[in-house]
Structures are given as C-alpha cells and as structure tokens.
Amino acid sequence: MTLRRTLMACMAALALPLAACGDQSDAAKKDGASGERVLNLYTARHYDGDLQVYAAFEKATGIRVNRIEGNPDQLIARMQAEGAASPADVFITADAGALWRAQDAGLLQPITSEVLTSAIPAALREPEGHFFGTSRRARVVAYDSTKVRPEEVDTYEELASPRFRGKLCVRSSDSVYNLSLVGALLEAWGPEKTKAWVEGVVANMARPPEGGDRDQIRAVGAGVCEVAITNSYYFIRMDRSTDPADVALTDKVKLGFPSLNGQGAHVNVSGGGVARNAPHRAEAIAFLEFLASPEAQVLNSEQNNEFPAAVGVQAPAGVREFESFTANPMNVSVYGRRQAEAQSIMSAAGWR
Amino acid sequence: MRLIGVLAALVAVLPLIGVVAAALSGATADIAATDLTRYALTSVALAGIVAAVTGVLGSIAAWLVVMHRFPGRGAFEWALALPFAMPAFAVAYAYADLFDVAGELNSWLRAAAGVALPFQMRSLWGAGFILGFAFFPYVYLAMRAAFTNLPVHALEAARSLGASPRRAFLSVALPMARPALAAGVALAVMETLADYGAVQFLSVQTLTTGVVRAWFVYGSLASAAQFALPLLGAAALLLWIERAGRRRRAYGSPGAKWRPLPVTALTGSKAWLAFAYCLLLLTLGLLLPAGWLAWSSIDVQPDWPRLISAARNTVTLGVGGAVVTVALATALALAARSLPLTARVASIGYATPGAVMAIGLLLPAAWIWSVVPGGSANVVAGLALLLYAYAARLMAAALEPVDAGLSRVTPSMIHAARGLGASEGAAAWRVQLPIAAPALFTAAIVVLVDVLKELPATLILRPFNFDTLAVIADNYARDERLANAGWPSLILVALALPPVIWLSRKAAHARPGSE
C-alpha cells in the first residue's frame, strides 16, 4: 500500500506544477486562436538587459516574445534537428562568426527591409540580408598604462612583436571572439602573415590561455601581463562600475584600439537573422527593425556597454567616451567563413 | 515484462544510437591528430587524478567514521555526503574565482605579503582537485556501506593475530571493501567524464573540447561523434567495473552472526586529527565554495521573480524526472532478471559527456518535434522530452538502488506468488515492488538530486521561456558575471541539501542486524 501511496503522491506532485506551467505558456504553441501576435526568439545572448529590450518591443508593437537562450552552437544544432517544423523566427547571437555558421547551415533566410538597410551600415550586415549586426563590440587591447605607451599598442602587429614577449594575456582559441579576430586577420593579411602573427602571440603569452576576457583585464591589473586582448564592453563595464576594486583597476589599465592595416580596430557584432522556416516572418522582421531603432540601440548600449550599430545613434554617457575610435570597414560576414582555417592555424601554433 | 524492459532499455539507448549514426555520416573535421591525442591524454589524466583523490579521501573518511569514535563523528557520518548537493560547476566557479591570480585573495596576499599563491585552479590539477572534492561522496558512501557490513570476526581474527589497527585496515578491511571502492571510484570517474561546464570553465581541454570544436567550428557532426566513441567505450568499461564490483561485494560468511563493530575510541591529538580531517573535507567540498559564492553575491540584488520561477521549474523537473526514471529503471530491473545485458547497455548514458549526449538526444528529439503539433514550441512535448532525456542520462543512477532493492526478493517468494495463481505482472506489483519500495524511493531521491544539477540536456531541449536554476547560473557564468551566478547556484544547493541529508542519514543506519 505504501508504494501505491508514494507513487500517487509523486504523480500528484508532478501533475500540479506541470499543469501550472502549461497554463502560463500555452500561447507559445497556439497563437492564432486569440489573435495575439507572438515572436519566437532563439538567442545566444543571455544578458539581463536584453529582457528590457524585449519588454520595450512588446510594449511598442503588442507582439509577445517567447525566448530560448542557449549557446549559439546548441541553438544551431536544435534548429537543424527541428528542420522545417522549427518554431524559430529570429536567431540572435553575439558573434558574426556564429551568425555565419547558422547561415552556412541553411538556417537563415535573406530579407529585404528598407528600415534595416538604411539604419545599419553595409559593413555590419550580410550583403544578401541573411543577418544584421545590431550592436558593435571591438576586439581590442587592455594595457597597463604604467608600463605601456598607447602608441605601442596601436597596431595588431605589435601584439605579436618581441616587445611583449611573455607579457600578453589572452583567452583560449575556443573563444569564438578569438576565432573571428583571427578570421579577420586572415582576410586582411592572408595565411602566411596571419600564421606568423599567431605564432608571435603564442610566444608572447604570459601564461597558457585561461578564463574569460574579464580575467585577462584583471590579470593586467595584477601585473601578470602588460597587455591583454579583450572585447571592449568587458572593459567598459569595469570602467563604469562603482566597485572600488574595478575603479582602482581602470585607473591603471587603459583600453587601446589597435588598427588593422591602418583602417581601424577589428569590430564584431551582435545581431540576428530571420530563420529559414520562420512561422512569424513579419513579426521577425519587425523585431530586427526594432533592435535597430534608436530606443533599442541606446537601451542595449546602456545595459551591455556595446556600441550602437545604427547610423546616427550616439552611445549613452559612460560608453560614449570610448566610441570615438576608428572601426575597420571589413564586412562582418567574412569572419565566419575563415573560422575553421583560423582554428587550424591557432591549434598548430599551440594556442590552446 | 520482458517487452517492457526491452522498451525501457531502448529508450535509454536511443541517444547512443544517434551518436553512432552521426559518426557514420558526413564530412570529417580537420583536427590534428596531435591535438586529439592531447585531449585524450588530458581526459585520462583528469580521470586518474579524480580516481586517486576520491578513492583516498572517501576511503579514509569512511574508515574513520565507521570504526572510530571522535568528536563530531555522529554529525560527520551523514554530513560528509553533503558535497553531493553542490553542483560541480558551482564548485568550479567558486574556486576559480577564489584562487584567481587577480582575485581578491591573491590581490590581498600580494598587497600584504608581496606573494601570490603558487597554484592555479584553472589547470589540470586544479580541475582534478575540484572534481575530486565534488565527487568524493560517491566513494565515501560506498565505502561506508562496505565497512559497516564488514564481518566482525575477520577483523577480530586479524587483531588477535597481532595486527595493528592500521594493518587490519590495510590488509583486511580495505581488500574486503575493494569491490565497493571500485564501484565508488567508477561512479566518480563516470561523473568526471560526463561533466559539462566545470572542466570547460577551468580551461582544461579534454575530449569534450574536441567534440565541441569538431561539431561547431568545423561543422562536422560526424567527427564530433567519432571523438565521442572512445568516451562511450570508456563509459561502458567503467560500468562493467562498477557492476563487477557489485557482484563480488558479498565476501560474507552467511552464517556469521551480526555483532556491533569493534569501534575504537580516539583520544587526544588523534581524536582532533580525525575531527580536523572530516571538517576539512566538508569545508573544501561544500562550506568554502558555497560560502565564497554567498560572499561574492552579497552585493548583487537577485531577480527574485525569475529565480523563484526557475526554482519551481527545477523542482518540477526533478520530481518528474525522478518518477519517470525510476519507473523505467524498475521495468528494466525486473526484466533484467532474465536479460542482464539490457540493463548494462541502458546505463551507458550516465558516463556519456554532456556534449556527446546532446548530439544523441537530438535524434529522438527531432522525431518528437516532427510529430507533435507546434513542434518544439509544444510545451507538454518539450517537458516530456526533457523527462525522457533525464531518464536516458540517469538510468544507471536509478538502476543501482532499484536493483539492490529487488534482489531482496528471493526467487522462492516469487514462486509462491505464482503458485498461488498470480500472473507475472501481478507478482511484480504485489510482491516485488512493495518489498523494494524503500529502494525505489532512494532511487527517486538520487535521480532528483542529479536532475536538479543537470545542465546539458536542459540547455538544448527545454521549451520556450523555461529556465532552470542551473541554466541561469550557466548564463551568468558565460557572461563572466560570477557574482550573479552565485544566487541561482546557492538556491540550487539549498534545494538539493534536504534530499541529500535524508539519503545520507538513511544509509548511515543500514547495518544489518542493528536498529
């Protein structure tokens, strides 16, 4: 009898919350009945600030946002498994290379939108309209201003020079940001020079790659290295922080913007595209257009310390101070195509 | 009965078939053989370190607690299993941050003494240490049970022949408990191989790194699955060791009378050493990492509505996963009486790395998504799929206690029931299951705790707008906001503690013949 009672209790315990969450998100599967418009978002961004952007979109358009967050690769794998029945409308990720992977896997469809083409500069979107960059981040250098002069880190070549032998911190080649950076170098320099650069960087490493970008910046602060390769927003987040440790750190560590072939710093984007089988195509385009609007651009920049991508939108105070650098005009859609080659070169050179 | 068992096994094996199918298809990735060798060696080295750390720590702790009396022994007896409640990824967050070269501790040391700690948690040894402390309870629990069930006369014989207590431990107790040691260490190593999150967070590149690179950077699912095959082989081997360990567990002399174990009262410095040792394990496995997470998150304002909703989801999935997994495991165990191989094969999911399991789970998922209305936006189908994934991953964890419980039913009992006219099913329902009920409950608790901490399957298969605590913690950690990752991790620990305490206390009082 005990067993049966235990089983019943378990079933009841299971059924109650299941029923409850069924109620909550029933609309996710059926949207036609009530006439409510919905948008299904697959996003590899997982910042709290994004929730505010979704809320603003819901308020502005009445379209409700359903979301699944995950890392880009898992979301791509999931969309592949879902095939034609995929409910995904928009795929968002924080790296142009990952967007290219989705495009390459045939998961995105090209769209035309007057709003997007006029708001987003050509370099920040895929030429055929498969994806659009909606915010910018530069992959640049945090340096110890007591030991390094700004002009010593104003080109990417210098990072691989003997000047920084044993004095460079950088994360592993598993990081998609590093893959995109080396992909961009491959595009700009070709394989020979890129290979030599990667080998120089490996020779310059103060320690085997470990941790994330923030950890590299902190390592500069702690004197483990003099320069670190980092995405701009991690540094700006620390620069805007009121935490005494971060304040002290950014007194000493500064952000430098090296130039690639004299044309400016390597810029990556966070952005999205419309899914190949999007059941709510119109809503999907409306969402991307909303992300390009000044309201969303500023909100996102304020929350995540990324630079706005849309023409004529200025970053809010705190981020604006870093916005005056020259951005390399290379089209962001080339990074992904070069990532496999980049990975092979980096692995061969011992960039773990 | 057999049919149900075979079906249950099929359910568990389907993802593995998916992996093999993927391995045979499509283009391969351009990953250098030297890199692969390095990943494989790192995996082996990590498994070796974890085996050594958990084996030594867990055995000594169990020996102290079972055979000695010292201050705090009664509490340590169950408390030493508590690190179970701490997900490995949370332990990794805490230690990586605490001992980071630019972290608060090292910064303070540099300022105060001009030196930094000479070791790094983000390394092979660091990962071995962290996983060792996260997983030693497996060995501790197995060894505690083994020592508790030692036949007293064997120890007395050793002592009366002049063996010192240490010698009696090394040459009598330890060899007799060897099967339990193998089983406990095998579980710890399986968890190490299956780990998702902790090892990658610590920048240690194992075969999982190869799988992820091949799959995503090179876009080759085939290569990814091929790298996964040796991991599946290792999983099968470990399971075999674990099962073999259990088969030979009974060294017993069936006729011997059960008497209380000869407990040695430790005094003076020895007593305090034993106390300090146990406290150290508990501190490094639970108190320090949990405490550091709490300390780092103090300034962060938690997003309560989101955390509460995630906690509710987590518990729902935990209970659901426990019921489904134990039901399937029970069907499997009943059938396994006549088909022993099925149970073993169905257990491989437990030692399969999360990234590999994700590849395999997408195969059955694709079928389900293609037949249900709304595809993967169908919440009910989505949750059912998750429960299924947990069953596939955690079958082994449930199977062990269920199997042990069912083995208490002797064939003669079943024969009696059948002789009285009960069908096979009725005999199972009215005789075998009621007798095994406590074991089924234990199995459910074990699965519950594992599901609470589960990450890879949840990440890839969950329905819209559905977060668990582990998912939120992982999101924050990947955004390099460790302080924010602290809250969901700590709530997770708080949820997992009561069932772990219950489990440990129950197992602590399980000496046959004693009350």
Whether residues B203 and A172 touch (CB distance < 8 A) is answered with yes
The rounded mean pLDDT for chain B is: 85
Beta-sheet strands, E only, within B62-200: 68-69
Closest Cα in chain B to A183: B217
Q: Is A318 left (phi over 0), alpha (psi -120 to 50) or beta?
A: left
Please tell me the distance in Å from A46's CA to the nearest CA on chain B: 6
Residue A206, SS3 per DSSP: coil
Q: Mark whether A73 and A205 lie in a shared domain.
A: no
Longest alpha-carbon distance in chain B: 82
Over residues A244-281, the pLDDT tens digits come to 888 899 999 999 999 999 999 999 999 999 999 999 99
With respect to residue B514, please indicate whether it lies within any of the assigned structural domains.
no
Nearest Cβ partner for A340 among B103, B218, B376: B218
Please tell me the distance in Å from A36's CA to the nearest CA on chain B: 16
Distance of CA A289 to the CA centre of its chain: 18
CB A115 within 8 A of CB A289: yes
Q: Mark whether A315 and A222 lie in a shared domain.
A: no
Whether residues B30 and A340 touch (CB distance < 8 A) is answered with yes
Whether residues A218 and B102 touch (CB distance < 8 A) is answered with yes
With respect to residue A250, please indicate whether it lies within any of the assigned structural domains.
yes
Long-range contacts of B251-257 (CB under 8 A, 24+ apart): B251/B151, B251/B176, B252/B149, B252/B151, B253/B151, B253/B153, B256/B151, B256/B152, B256/B153, B257/B513
Contacts of A67 in chain B (CB under 8 A): 464-465
Q: How many domains does chain A fold into?
A: 2
Interface of B with A in 85-144 (CB under 8 A): 96, 100-104, 106-107, 110, 116, 120, 122-123
Write the CATH number for A204.
3.40.190.10
Please tell me the distance in Å from B27's CA to the nearest CA on chain A: 14
Over residues A112-152, the pLDDT tens digits come to 999 999 999 999 999 999 999 999 999 999 999 999 999 99
Could you say which DSSP state residue A325 is in?
Answer: S
* Vertex B34: Cα angle to B124 and A168 (nearest 5): 55
List CB contacts of A339: < 8 A, sequence separation 6 or more.
A97, A100, A101, A176, A179, A180, A183, B217
With respect to residue B257, please indicate whether it lies within any of the assigned structural domains.
no
Q: Mark whether A188 and A316 lie in a shared domain.
A: no
Whether residues B32 and A212 touch (CB distance < 8 A) is answered with no
Going by DSSP bridges, is the β-strand pair A253-256/A267-275 parallel, antiparallel, or unpaired? unpaired
Nearest Cβ partner for B369 among A47, A82, A243: A82
Strand partners, A269: A136
Q: Mark whether A247 and A314 lie in a shared domain.
A: no
List CB contacts of A208: < 8 A, sequence separation 6 or more.
A352, B203
Contacts of A209 in chain B (CB under 8 A): 203
CB A234 within 8 A of CB A246: no
Write the CATH number for B233.
1.10.3720.10
Give the pLDDT score at B495.
96
Give the pLDDT score at A217.
96
Flag residues of chain B having pLDDT under 70.
1, 245-259, 337-340, 509-515
Whether residues A234 and B480 touch (CB distance < 8 A) is answered with yes
With respect to residue B32, please indicate whether it lies within any of the assigned structural domains.
yes
Contacts of B370 in chain A (CB under 8 A): 83, 85
Residue that the structure tokens 């609007």 belong to = A293
With respect to residue A17, please indicate whether it lies within any of the assigned structural domains.
no
Q: Mark whether A96 and A67 lie in a shared domain.
A: yes
Structure tokens of B386? 């998750």
Q: Mark whether A68 and A130 lie in a shared domain.
A: yes
**Gap between the terminal Cα atoms of chain A:** 59
Q: Mark whether A262 and A272 lie in a shared domain.
A: no
Distance CA B102, CA B110 (A): 10
Give the pLDDT score at B439.
86
Please tell me the distance in Å from A150's CA to the nearest CA on chain B: 23
B74 at A interface, C-beta within 8 A: no
Suggest the residue from A343, A345, A346, A351 to mutate for an interface test with chain B (most B CBs closer than 10 A). Answer: A343
With respect to residue A236, please indicate whether it lies within any of the assigned structural domains.
yes
Q: Mark whether A240 and A185 lie in a shared domain.
A: yes
Whether residues A10 and B303 touch (CB distance < 8 A) is answered with no
Contacts of A76 in chain B (CB under 8 A): 216
Contacts of B215 in chain A (CB under 8 A): 73, 77
With respect to residue A26, please indicate whether it lies within any of the assigned structural domains.
no
CB B170 within 8 A of CB B56: no
Nearest Cβ partner for A25 among B116, B379, B476: B379
Suggest the residue from A40, A347, A351 to mutate for an interface test with chain B (most B CBs closer than 10 A). Answer: A347
Structure tokens of B408? 């208490």
With respect to residue B258, please indicate whether it lies within any of the assigned structural domains.
no
Element (DSSP H or E) covering residue B469: helix B469-478
Whether residues A85 and B376 touch (CB distance < 8 A) is answered with yes
CB A335 within 8 A of CB A124: no
Nearest Cα residue to A301 out of A282, A314, A287: A314
Flag residues of chain A having pLDDT under 50.
1-4, 6-8, 10-33
List CB contacts of A352: < 8 A, sequence separation 6 or more.
A172, A173, A208, A209, B203, B205
Nearest Cα residue to B203 out of A174, A257, A115: A174
Q: How many domains does chain B fold into?
A: 1
Nearest Cβ partner for A3 among B202, B215, B433: B433
User: Domain of B303?
Assistant: 2-252+273-508
Suggest the residue from B104, B217, B390 to mutate for an interface test with chain A (most A CBs closer than 10 A). Answer: B217
Whether residues B316 and A343 touch (CB distance < 8 A) is answered with no
Q: Mark whether A45 and A111 lie in a shared domain.
A: yes
Whether residues B203 and A211 touch (CB distance < 8 A) is answered with yes
Please tell me the distance in Å from A116's CA to the nearest CA on chain B: 27
Q: Mark whether A290 and A317 lie in a shared domain.
A: yes
Q: Mark whether A301 and A225 lie in a shared domain.
A: no
Distance CA A239, CA B279 (A): 41
Please tell me the distance in Å from B270's CA to the nearest CA on chain A: 41
Give the pLDDT score at A21.
43
Longest alpha-carbon distance in chain A: 80
Please tell me the distance in Å from A92's CA to the nearest CA on chain B: 15
Distance of CA A101 to the CA centre of its chain: 14
With respect to residue A81, please indicate whether it lies within any of the assigned structural domains.
yes
Contacts of B460 in chain A (CB under 8 A): 70, 74, 77-78
Q: Mark whether A223 and A125 lie in a shared domain.
A: no
User: Domain of A276?
Assistant: 36-135+268-322
Give the pLDDT score at A279.
95
Residue B271, SS3 per DSSP: helix
| Sequence letter at residue B126 | G
